[in-house]
Every structure is written in structure tokens, then in C-alpha cells.
Amino acid sequence: MKTSEIPKSGIGPLQGVNVLLSGSATAGPYAATMMSDFGANVIDMESAIMPDTSRASNDVFEQDHRNQRGIAVNVPTPDGQEIFYKLIKNVDIFIESSKGGQWKKWGITDELMWKVNPALVIVHVSGFGQSGDPAYIKRASWDGVGLAFGTITDQNGFPEEPMPIGPYICDGLTAMSASWGALAAYYRAMQTGKGESIDVAQFEIMLRNQSGTPYKYFQQGIIPARTGNENSIAACFRNFKCSDGYIFIGFSGPGLIKNALAFFGFEYGTEDFPSSFPWVSAGTKGAALITEAIEKFCQERTIDEVEQEMNKLGVPCSPIMDFAMAEKNSHYIAREVFTEWTHRDGRTVKGVNIIPKMKKNPGKIWKAAPGWGEDNEDVLSELGYSADDISALYDKKVLNKA
């Protein structure tokens, strides 16, 4: 697809922003996904040696690379670097995900990129960052590594064993931070003409997304204990088993705690249920009493029955949803959370719609994810390469395609 074939309007607020992506899996690429979902012109530059690892599961690649064009270039080669520098001359944001220092190892530095494009915003996404202890920088990372090194895994599971968390929470939050950082730097570059380099480390993003938990450790020396299905602060802020499945109940809130306790036969403001907090503190006698009461209540009723009663009381709750339940849910349907589009092979596929929802200038799915190297000819011809030039690059294995 040529640039001229991209819709001129109506595909989102980032229309006119040009992005080059080079990375695989999720943490880096998903940052560009959020931009292409909202109208940015994203070129996904895969390796000519091996396709993006997420292509092994086509579901992942199709969901996360829609609205993008795709090329496959062997960047470390001299010809590959020539293509790369021609590409970044015309883009606003470059996002790469790899081990720390990988691009510098190839001889491609931020400073060399800025010589070509002084206003370029460069985003480096890695597990451990571009600087720090040399023993860590070049380490490989996956979602689970970021969770483990970022202290999240240690806080989840049961006292005897931590549990992995999925799917791809670390990758998703890392990508969101990378996308936010890129757009913040782009806003500044538009004002000053000077680019920026952003160093995104997965483990740091995990720390920053824990709200006050790290702060509490540094002030009070408290390391959070694993509590399984229990909340460490409030009782009955967890999952409960109903006769036909599970429901989450968040038994806490200043406007509801008095009536909610009364519903189960308890009085707020007594010795067992003091009015110090708008919840029942975990580990207390009151916690044991209300937990037993809610467990019995749920076990004797269906999810729908429990949900209706909790909603009447104003107690936050939700069935533990799976995809089949979500697809049929009236609220999911009303908000068009899922949508269909046409795969490049002509099939109709279904996945998650563009989120968040914008009223005046929403994003739009206008193109399926590209095949490996699908747009080599169109993109390189726009850079000034002739058909013979492109053919020679295939012969030299600088370019590749499916």
C-alpha cells in the first residue's frame, strides 16, 4: 500500500503522525498499535531474517498490527541501514524493542538518527533499560520477567508460592507508557524542533504502576505479603463462589458499608465493626464474621441473584467473566466492545474494538495487519528505489517477504 492510498480523513486524531516500528512480540509493538488505531501512519519494519515472533500466533499479530503497513529489512547490513536512515528522515516517531544496547551494537545511535532527523522522537523499549548495571542491560526479557523483576509476581499468589500473572499485563502497561512518552515528546518536538530519546524498561513500569505500595515500603519497611484470594486491607474484597460460578465483591465504601452490613445482620459502629474505616479491616473478628456470612449467601445463590442483591445495596461487584460471557453480555454489546474487520486473506475476523472511545474524532479499523514484507515495494519506491534496485535488495537478502 502506498501512502497515497491511506484514507485522508476519518481514521483518528493522530492522522498525519508518521511512525516507524521495529520490534517483535508485544511490549514495543503494542505502543505503535495504539497509535495506528487512532490514525497514525505506522510502518512495521520486521527483520528480513525472521518474521515477528507473534506471527507464530496469527491471532496476536492480526489484533495488534491492524491499520499498519509492513516491510521486512535486514537492518544491520549496509544496505539495510541506508533504507533505515531514509525511513527515519520522514517519520516523527521511531519505536524499537530489543535487548538494551542492541541498536548501538549495530552502529545506530540516537545521535546518528538526530543527524538525519533532528526532531525525531526515539523510543527504546527493553526489559532492563539502556543504562544501569551492565550485567542486566543486555538480558532478554518477556512479560513474566518484567513482572518478576518489577516485584509484582512476589505479591501475587498464596503464602507458600508466588503465581505468574497473565496475560501480558506487563507488556501492555509497558507499551502504554511507551506510547504516552512518545506522544508527550512529540508534542514538545513540534514546539522546539528538537527530538527526544525515551528509555522504557519493563520492570520500572511495573514498579510505577503499583500506586503507593513501594512508597509504603520505603516509609514503613513493609513488604506486602501474598494473601491468595484475600485483600490485605479490607475483608470481603475478593472472589466468592456462587452455585454456578464466581463473582468478585468489593465490600467497601463510605456510602454503602452501614446498609451492607445491616443486610447481613451486623451493625456498623459496634466493637466488631468499628466506624474507623468504610470497610471491615482484614484479619479482625468482624472480618471472619462477615466473610462467613457472604460465603454462605453466595453459595446458596446464582451469580445473577448475588449480583442483583449487591447492586441494590450499592456494593461494587462483577461476575468473573470469560470471553463467551463477555460476547453475549448486554453492556459489551451496547458499547460495541468487539467488532469485525476483513483479514488480508478475505476472511471476516472479530476482535477487540478501538479503545478508548473518542466522541469527536474516533479511531477506525480501515486495514488488516500486513503480511511479512507485504509493502516492501510500495514503501521503498516512495523512498526513491527503482524496481531494479528493489529486486537487487531481495537478491542480497536485505529484503524479504512471505
Q: How far apart are CA 11 and CA 17, in angstroms?
A: 12
Q: Is 171 a catalytic residue?
A: yes
pLDDT one-digit tens code per residue, 209-225: 999 999 999 999 999 99
What is the torsion angle, in degrees rounded to the nearest 10, for the CA atoms of residue 137, residue 140, residue 146 and residue 148?
A: -100
Using alpha carbons, select from 73, 17, 15 the residue that is nearest to residue 44. 73
Q: Which domains does the chain have, with CATH numbers?
A: 3-209+337-395 (3.40.50.10540), 237-321 (3.30.1540.10)
Model pLDDT for residues 139-176, shown as the tens digit of each residue:
999 999 999 999 999 999 999 999 989 899 999 999 99
Residue 57 has pLDDT above 80, yes or no: no
Q: How many CB atoms lie within 10 A of CB 15?
A: 18
Q: Residue 334 pLDDT > 80, yes or no?
A: yes
- The model's pTM is 0.94
* Residue 58 in this model has a pLDDT that exceeds 90: no
- Residue pair 122/197 in contact (Cβ under 8 Å)? The answer is yes
Q: pLDDT band at residue 2, thresholds of 50, 70 and 90?
A: very high
Distances (CA, A) of 76 to 6, 118, 242: 29, 22, 57
Percent of the chain residues topping a pLDDT of 70: 100
Q: How confident is the model at residue 25 (pLDDT cuts 50, 70, 90)?
A: confident
Instruction: Return the higher-pLDDT residue of 57 and 359.
Output: 359
Looking at the chain, the number of H-run helices and the number of E-run strands are 17, 13
Short-list 335, 334, 301, CA closest to 317 = 301
- Under the banding of pLDDT at 50, 70 and 90, the label for residue 42 is very high
Catalytic residue among 37, 52, 171, 375: 171
Percent of the chain clearing pLDDT 90 (strictly above): 97
